[in-house]
Structure 1
Amino acid sequence: MVQKPSLSRDIRWQRKLPTASVTALGWCLYRWAGVATGSAVDLNASATAITSYSLYGGSMILLFLASTLYHAIPHQRAKMWLKKFDHCAIYLLIAGTYTPFLLVGLDSPLARGLMIVIWSWHCWVFCLKLTIAHRFKILSLVTYLAMGWLSLVVIYEMAVKLAAGSVTLLAVGGVVYSLGVIFYVCKRIPYNHAIWHGFVLGGSVCHFLAIYLYIGQA
């Protein structure tokens, strides 16, 4: 009787370990990526460009840090708050990823308008997640996808103004993110959550390369 809770905690940790490992890898990679992006930025870049890259880099690091802490720390009360932190950081990364593309890559009235919509959406769901983080899981998933694919609003401008490689990496990243949702919702797949985070890492790598290789060098 006394050993069952301990065994249960051990089993839960074994299940969380692969996910925590993937997110920790992501955090380590994006700490380096943040430094690499910062060093690649032209010293004469505008305040808008520097702010955009800073928001993007900060959102990447924050997301993988939040996710690593949530999956690695066993304390239940702490996990409750870390789960909210983790979910809010997802929206922050989406908004942060949009920022260099819209304000630096495109820099048009339509792009700036979409930027206002994206960040307003982020602020709204951020407040919502702080109060109802454990509810409406399907709705949260739909809003993640909708927020990401809202980029189709400026698809024509991206095709005209951005390098083909940047648009390709952006699209591939979006597809990778979306395919990962299959594993997120299929609980019967072994280690489905770790696989889901692997797709998140893959999608974020595509978007990082699109920004680092093309937007940041423009």
Structure 2
Amino acid sequence: MHASERSSWHRLDPRHLESVVKKPLLRGWFHTVATPVSMAALLVLIVLTPTVAGRAAASVFLLTSLMLFGISGFYHRHYWGRLADKFLRNWDHSNIFLLIAGTYTPMAVGVLPTHDILVLLLVVWIGAGAGIALQWLWPSAPRWVYTPIYVVLGWVAVWYLPELAHFGGLAFTWLLAAGGICYTIGAIVYGFKWPDFSPRYFGFHELFHAFTLAGWVCHCIAAYFALLG
């Protein structure tokens, strides 16, 4: 085999790529641990929620949370091969859109009047569907294209801030805002790949995951206020 052929084979062979791609040791572990924790927290919420609509909304939040944390933890901790990695990456990024819409669901159902619930959820779920379509139709899209979409879709609630504050109360509103800020900071870290503290142990992607987890915790507590308050 000629040197050029060997080089080409190495570029394509997943086993070679696995030996080259070195992920930080903590890559994926935040979301791996978050998977059972989120399941427990939201199962408790489902059990405690008194209404059928509220339990259904909390179930949507549970399902989208498990999809995001579970797939992310599975995907990020190993290199699965070129084709599998591509599929898992698209699925992982699609789950971000699903979680945004899934998070809005219990907030809207628990706090807003019926008409506002329908409008807000229609907007965020259509937006999530469009984002997922973009992810699968243009999987090679640069970060500067899809990362701002996450942020914009996540802050749709600003249009309903007076209603959310009025019906949800101060604690709920602050938790909603704090979660959004955490998610936004995480998106900025992800978009700029900075700061990259320790590429061997804890890089920019781990910091991004840490901020997403902090944002999720804020919104999980807010969901308790929304459905049980």
TM-score, normalised via structure 2 length: 0.84
Q: Partners in 2 of 1:140 and 1:134 — Cα distance?
A: 10
1:217 maps to 2:225: no
One-letter code aligned to 2:129: C
**Residue matched to 2:57:** 52
Q: Select which of 57, 61, 68 maps to 2:73.
A: 68
Q: Indicate which of 26, 30, 46 corresponds to 1:22.
A: 30
User: 3-state SS of the aligned residue for 2:228?
Assistant: coil
Checking the alignment, whether the CA contact within 8 Å between 1:73 and 1:79 is kept in structure 2 is no
Q: Which residue of 2 aligns with 1:184?
A: 190
The residue matched to 1:65 in structure 2 has which SS? helix
SS of aligned partner of 1:169: helix
CA distance in 2, matches of 1:134, 1:23: 24
Distance between the aligned counterparts of 2:86 and 2:134, measured in 1? 15
CA offset at residue 8 of structure 1? Answer: 6.7
Relative distance call for 1:60 and 1:168 in structure 2 (3 A) is same
> Any stretches of 5+ residues in structure 2 without a counterpart?
198-202
Residues 1:37 and 2:48 are matched in the alignment: no
8 Å Cα contact 1:87/1:133 also seen in 2 = no
Higher helix share: 1
Residues 183 and 195, structure 1, Cα contact 8 Å, conserved in 2? yes
Contact 2:175/2:218, CA 8 A, preserved across alignment: yes
**SS of alignment partner, residue 214 of structure 2:** helix
Is 2:93 aligned against 1:84? no
Deviation at 1:149, TM superposition (A): 0.8
Residue deviations 1:186-205 (CA, integer Å, cap 9, x gap): 33523000001000000000
Amino acid at match of 2:61: Y
Taking the aligned partners of 1:13 and 1:72, their CA distance within structure 2 comes to 10
Can you give the 5+ residue segments of structure 1 that lack an aligned partner in the other structure? none
Residues 6-15 or 157-166, more deviating? 6-15
TM-score, normalised to structure 1's length? 0.88
Compare 90-99 and 187-196 and name the one that shifted more: 187-196
Amino acid aligned to 1:184: Y
2: CA distance, partners of 1:215 / 1:185? 31
Q: Which amino acid aligns with 1:34?
A: L
Q: Which has the larger radius of gyration?
A: 2
What displacement does 1:135 show? 1.0
What RMSD over aligned residues (CA atoms) do the two structures have, in Å? 2.2
How far 1:142 moved relative to its partner?
0.8
| Aligned equivalent of 2:200 | none
Q: Which amino acid aligns with 2:30?
A: V
After superposition, residues 110-149 of structure 1 pair within 5 angstroms as 110-149=116-155
Q: Distance in 1 between matches of 2:96 and 2:89?
A: 11
